[in-house]
Structure 1
Amino acid sequence: MMIARVIGNVWATRKEENLNGLKLLIVQPIDSNNQPIRHELVVADRIGAGVDDEVLVTSGGSTRYIFASTPLPIDAVVIGIIDSKEVRGE
């Protein structure tokens, strides 16, 4: 898992049929000091995150199974919206 900040949305009127109804977000992975790390990612979201939210993102093959009945062509998904975090020394 990684912590990321939502920095934008993606709209695609034409896409894989199984992705219809699934929100796509652009996220920037961040470290524990809120500094950007890595490059931006497009992630699937079905829990309602929005721009400026800090979120938990997971990636890899298992993300295809967010709907048990139908594997999706995705490799990263928002699994939580962060309410707060505590980092040693703060």
Structure 2
Amino acid sequence: MLLARVIGSVVATRKEAELEGITFLLVENTEPDGKLKGSHVVAADAVGAGVGDLVLYATGSSARQTAVTRDRPCDATIMAIVDLVEEKGDFLYRKDDE
């Protein structure tokens, strides 16, 4: 799983039939504290994430293990919205603090 911040959406009006009904979001990879890394990925959204959310996403065959993406040609899928990140007793990120 990878950490990323949702920074936008991606709309495709013409697409493969297997992709119908899937929402695609643009995410930017982050450090555990939420600092942006600069690399971007388009990911299928399986959890109803929105712009600004810190999320966990999976790639490769793991990305096709959700009810939304099973048997669909998706290589990256948002699987969770992050509430907090803790490391050695220190909170690096808390959603409530935003």
Q: TM-score, normalised by structure 2?
A: 0.80
Bigger mean CA offset, 10-19 vs 57-66: 57-66
% identity of equivalent residues = 39
Partner of 1:57: 57
> By how many angstroms is 1:12 displaced?
0.7
The residue number in structure 1 matching 2:13 is 13
Tell me by how many angstroms 1:32 deviates: 1.4
RMSD: 2.1
More strand per residue: 1 or 2?
2
Question: What is the alpha-carbon distance in structure 1 between the residues aligned to residue 66 and residue 16 of structure 2?
Answer: 16
Paired residue type of 1:35: K
How many aligned positions are there?
90
User: Hey, which bits of structure 1, 4+ residues long, moved more than 3 A?
Assistant: none
Assess if the C-alpha contact under 8 Å between 1:65 and 1:72 holds in 2. Answer: no
The DSSP-based 3-state class of the residue aligned with 2:87 is coil
Alignment map for 1:4-83 (pairs within 5 Å)? 4-37=4-37, 39-67=39-67, 71-83=71-83
Q: In the TM superposition, what is the alpha-carbon distance from 1:55 to its structure 2 partner? A: 0.4
How much has 1:38 moved relative to structure 2? 5.3
Instruction: Tell me, in whole angstroms, the C-alpha distance in 2 between the residues paired with 1:55 and 1:13.
Output: 25
Asked whether the 8 Å contact 1:47–1:79 carries over to 2, the reply is yes
Residue type of the alignment partner of 1:62: S
Unmatched 5+ stretches in structure 2? 92-98
State the alpha-carbon separation in 2 of the partners of residues 46 and 63 from structure 1: 10
